[in-house]
Amino acid sequence: MQIPELWYSNVMGIAIREIHAKTILTKSGIPGSDYCVNAYVGCAHACSYCYATFMKKFTGHAEPWGCFIDVKTNAPELLSRDIRRAVKGNVMISSVTDAYQPLEAKYRLTRQCLDILCANRFPVDILTKSPLVLRDLDVIQRFEQIDVGITITTDDEGMRRVFEPHAPPISARIETLRKLKEQGVSTYVFIGPLLPMHPEKLAEKIRPHADAVLISGMNYPSKTAAVYRRRGITQWLEKGYTDDIQERLKKGLAGKDITIC
């Protein structure tokens, strides 16, 4: 599908293109979500394991994943239109990008979309790695039903820098989780993929601040195996090994609402 290009620039090695999309509220195949809203295509976090790299098949981008972002500048207008004809259901923000990556500070598309969803009383699930979500606490607290999840894949900052080079530090994510919880927001942590970690230490850090935890052993070996081999940590690609890590996480988080996905 051809989308008209309105503006194009390059900032810090990231190609940024403003586009007009044709729809924004799309059906979701993610369990527990009826719809998803993605105001951006591509993600500046550049996580090496990201499953959303498949988007390049449809966008025509030649840049590596993490080096381009398309900004759907008309997302709020589209959502106002789409929501009028949608059956009420749970909306995931976002499924193939991070809704609170750095450009959101400028464009505020996620915030505008949240305002619309709240006004129409749609339940929402936000998943992000970014402390920027705290900017929108005033909107989040107006929702009748909303969950905010923080993705935390390891307790090891060195591993975070290897696999998530431009994502926020682990400490910032945990502090974000803490502040959300303090403000009465329903919180969860998504631990996926299971990056090399000390599971007991990670469980100890997130336990006080998470109402629920989702754990996924997905490691996308085809994308990450070379990194594991170079670092001599190929055991993290073995299902038996990661199954044990999952069990240790579950033990450390005993009493929490835990889902293995």
Per-residue pLDDT at 10 exceeds 90: no
Q: Which domain holds residue 245?
A: 145-261
* CA gap 205, 203 in Å, rounded: 5
Q: Are residues 58 and 111 in the same domain?
A: yes
Q: Are residues 177 and 232 in the same domain?
A: yes
Q: Are residues 193 and 112 in the same domain?
A: no
- Whether 135 is covered by a domain: the verdict is no
Q: Are residues 57 and 106 in the same domain?
A: yes
**Structural domains in the chain (count):** 2
For 28-115, strand residue ranges (E) read 35-37, 40-41, 68-72, 91-93
- Whether 92 is covered by a domain: the verdict is yes
What pLDDT is attached to residue 55? 77
Q: Per-residue pLDDT averaged across 18-45, rounded? A: 94
- Whether 140 is covered by a domain: the verdict is no
Q: Are residues 10 and 112 in the same domain?
A: yes
Q: Are residues 119 and 212 in the same domain?
A: no
- Whether 232 is covered by a domain: the verdict is yes
Contact 252, 200 (CB under 8 A): yes
- Per-residue pLDDT tens digits for 138-162: 999 999 999 999 999 999 999 999 9
Percent pLDDT > 70 in the chain is: 95
- Whether 138 is covered by a domain: the verdict is no
Q: Structure tokens of 92?
A: 């995931």
Q: Are residues 105 and 173 in the same domain?
A: no
- Whether 177 is covered by a domain: the verdict is yes
Q: Are residues 92 and 194 in the same domain?
A: no
Q: Name the domain boundary from 99, 127, 155.
A: 127
Q: Are residues 115 and 161 in the same domain?
A: no
Q: Are residues 109 and 173 in the same domain?
A: no
Q: Structure tokens of 65?
A: 């994943």
Per-residue pLDDT at 5 exceeds 50: no
Confidence of residue 12 (pLDDT cuts 50, 70, 90): low
What pLDDT is attached to residue 132? 96
Confidence of residue 37 (pLDDT cuts 50, 70, 90): very high
- Whether 230 is covered by a domain: the verdict is yes
* CA gap 189, 108 in Å, rounded: 24
For the chain, give the mean pLDDT: 91
What pLDDT is attached to residue 2? 31
Q: Are residues 41 and 163 in the same domain?
A: no
Q: Are residues 199 and 252 in the same domain?
A: yes
Confidence of residue 4 (pLDDT cuts 50, 70, 90): very low
Q: Name the domain boundary from 94, 127, 160.
A: 127
Closest by alpha carbon to 31, among 125, 117, 120? 125
Report the DSSP beta bridge partners of residue 68: 15
- Per-residue pLDDT tens digits for 40-62: 999 999 998 888 887 777 777 88
